[in-house]
Chains A and B, each alone.
Chain A
Amino acid sequence: MIRSVIKTTLPILFGFLPLGIAFGILFQELGYPWYFATLMGICVYAGAAQFMAVGMLGAGVGLFEIAISTFFLNSRDLFYGLALLNSFGAWGLRKFYLIFGLTDETYALMTTLTVPKEFNRERYYFLMTLFSQCYWVLGCSIGALASSSLDFNTEGMDFAATALFTVLLIEQWLKVRKPLPFVVAFVSSCIALILFFQHMLLAAIVLSITTIIILRFIKSKQND
């Protein structure tokens, strides 16, 4: 199972490691000891929010503002959970951890790939989440610890995230085979890009879910 999980999460490694390193380098410039970057990767574990925090920590922003910004920046996770409500098994420590470790990348993998039949799904998801977080924590630590002596040029490695989502988009298409959700999402994204370039991600998610619910409502009215 471990070998299979590593193979499945390898794209996440390529995405998280350079991103974590970039975070560690930025964080270390604030002047805190390196292990706080590690700690942040362990307890906050949110890419975009951690980058935002570097700026806010530097500016000494108030806690309330940080809490609100973090919540809104991560609020797309509210919708991620909806697709996985029945996938994480019974309430318990494992489920709490699976929810804690729900990121763009793990969400994308879990909703698209099928767990090999021979493995228990919740255990498989647990290891996927754990490994992904380890990659992230490793990246944060390396970046903060060895920013000056890093030899390997990771420039461009972050393309792995784009490639991962692209592959999963193809897989979604092969699985769903209905153009409607893709078209709705595409149009919503275009509108969100024009109106809310900075917050495009959340705006597009809210817009597309609202649209598809309205379309369903109209359809059911017509059938009455």
Chain B
Amino acid sequence: MTDISYLLLVMLVMTVATYATRLTPFVLFSRGQERALINFIAKNTPPMIMTILVIYMLKGVNYLSFEGVYTFIALLVTVVFHLYKRNALLSIIAGTTVYMVAVQM
């Protein structure tokens, strides 16, 4: 079942749908109306979304298995490294390496 025209249409539709979600706010708020509220939202969304993204990444983990323990340790390594050195790349590499070694053991 390799219908190329169906695949191409699906891709086209998905490209437009994805782009629409990304473009909409820029088109809607390009003329500076409701500035105060938009600025308030703009200022508060990054800390909120970062919190949500972290929880989202952790929601699929099975905390009653080794996966949960490995995730906890790798997170701890990431946080400790970051608070100690404040080098984003170093913290991420350290945490990810610990996690990869743990799950591949």
Residues of A in contact with B (beta carbons under 8 Å apart):
7, 10-11, 14, 30-32, 36, 39-40, 43-46, 49-50, 53, 56-57, 60, 63, 66-68, 70-71, 74-85, 88, 91, 95-96, 99-100, 102, 104, 107-108, 111-113, 153, 155-157, 159-173, 175-176, 181-182, 184-186, 188-189, 193, 197, 200-201, 204-205, 208-209, 212-213, 216
Contact = CB atoms under 8 A, between A and B. Distances in A.
Interface residues of B, number: 67
B10 interface: yes
Given A81-B24, A172-B50, 15 more contacts: A63-B9, A67-B16, A77-B21, A88-B26, A112-B46, A157-B96, A159-B99, A163-B74, A165-B54, A169-B54, A185-B52, A188-B48, A200-B59, A213-B40, A216-B40
Contacts of A153: 104
A68 B17 CA distance: 8
Interface string B1-21: 110101101111111111111
Contacts of B25: 78-82, 85
B2 to A, nearest CB: 5
A153 B99 CA distance: 13
Contacts of A172: 46-47, 50-51
Contacts of B56: 189, 200-201, 204
A70 B74 CA distance: 32
Given A163-B74, A200-B56, A209-B41, A53 B14 contact: yes
